[in-house]
Amino acid sequence: MIIFLFVAGKDMIFQVVKNNRIIKALVSGVTLIFNSFKRTFEYVSQHSPIFLFLFTVFIFLVGRGCYNIAIFQPLEELAYEQSVYRQEQEDKLFKDEIIRKQLRLANLFMNNERYEAAKFEYEAVIYLDEYNIEARKGLLKISTYERFKNNTFTPDVVESQIKMLVDDDQNDPHVNVFLGKLYDQLELAHASIENYSKAIQQDVTVSSAWFGLGRQYEKQGLSRKAIKAYEQAVFLSKWNSNYLTNLAYMYSKTGNYKKAIENYETILMLDYSELVAYLEISITYRLDGQFDMAYAYSDHLIRQLSDKKMVALKKNLNPWAYDIQYKDGSTEEISLDGLVPKKFYIFWTNALNHFVNYPDDVQLVESFIKKANSLICNIFKQTDADRIKKLVNYDIKQILNNKKNCYRLSLVVSTV
Q: Which of 174, 251, 250 is nearest to 215 (CA)?
A: 250
Task: Assess whether pLDDT exceeds 70 at residue 409.
Answer: no
| Mean pLDDT of all residues belonging to the chain | 82
Backbone angles phi, psi at 66, to 5 degrees: -90, -35
- Using pLDDT thresholds of 50, 70 and 90, give the confidence band for residue 131: confident
pLDDT 10s digits, 176-204 = 998 899 889 888 999 999 999 999 999 99
**Residue 19 falls inside a structural domain:** no
Q: What is the pTM of this model?
A: 0.73
Residues 127 and 125: their CA atoms lie apart, in Å, by: 5
**Residue 97 falls inside a structural domain:** no
**Residue 139 falls inside a structural domain:** no
Number of structural domains, the chain? 1
**Residue 387 falls inside a structural domain:** yes
CA of residue 175 relative to chain centroid, distance: 19
**Residue 291 falls inside a structural domain:** yes
Helix (H, G, I), strand (E, B) or coil at 335: strand
Residues 74 and 416: their CA atoms lie apart, in Å, by: 96
Q: What is the largest CA-CA distance in the chain?
A: 185
Dihedral (C-alpha) 28, 30, 36, 38: value to the nearest 10 degrees?
Answer: -120
pLDDT 10s digits, 332-369 = 888 888 889 999 999 999 988 888 888 778 888 888 88
**Residue 250 falls inside a structural domain:** no
* The pLDDT of residue 403: 47
More confidently predicted of 84 and 314:
314
**Residue 351 falls inside a structural domain:** yes
What number of H helices and E strands is found in the chain? 20, 2
**Per-residue pLDDT averaged across 274-281, rounded?**
93
Task: Assess whether pLDDT exceeds 70 at residue 313.
Answer: yes
**Residue 360 falls inside a structural domain:** yes
Residues of the chain above pLDDT 70, percent: 79
Task: Assess whether pLDDT exceeds 60 at residue 378.
Answer: yes
Task: Assess whether pLDDT exceeds 90 at residue 234.
Answer: yes
* The pLDDT of residue 215: 94
Q: Which domain holds residue 386?
A: 273-416
DSSP3 helix / strand / coil % (the chain, rounded to 5):
80, 5, 20
More confidently predicted of 35 and 71:
35
Task: Assess whether pLDDT exceeds 90 at residue 243.
Answer: yes
pLDDT 10s digits, 4-59 = 444 555 555 556 555 666 777 666 766 777 777 677 767 667 767 776 777 666 76
CA gyration radius for the chain?
Answer: 47
Helix axes 207-219, 73-111, angle to 10 degrees: 10
Residues of the chain above pLDDT 90, percent: 29
Other beta carbons within 10 Å of 135: 23
> Which range, 73-77, 213-217, 370-374, has the best average confidence (pLDDT)?
213-217
Residue 302 Cα distances to 73, 217, 256, 296, 326, angstroms: 79, 33, 26, 10, 30
pLDDT 10s digits, 73-83 = 666 666 667 77
Q: Residue 357, exposed/middle/buried by CB under 10 A (0-12, 13-18, 19+)?
A: middle
Residues 6+ apart with CB under 8 A from 140: 165
Task: Assess whether pLDDT exceeds 60 at residue 121.
Answer: yes
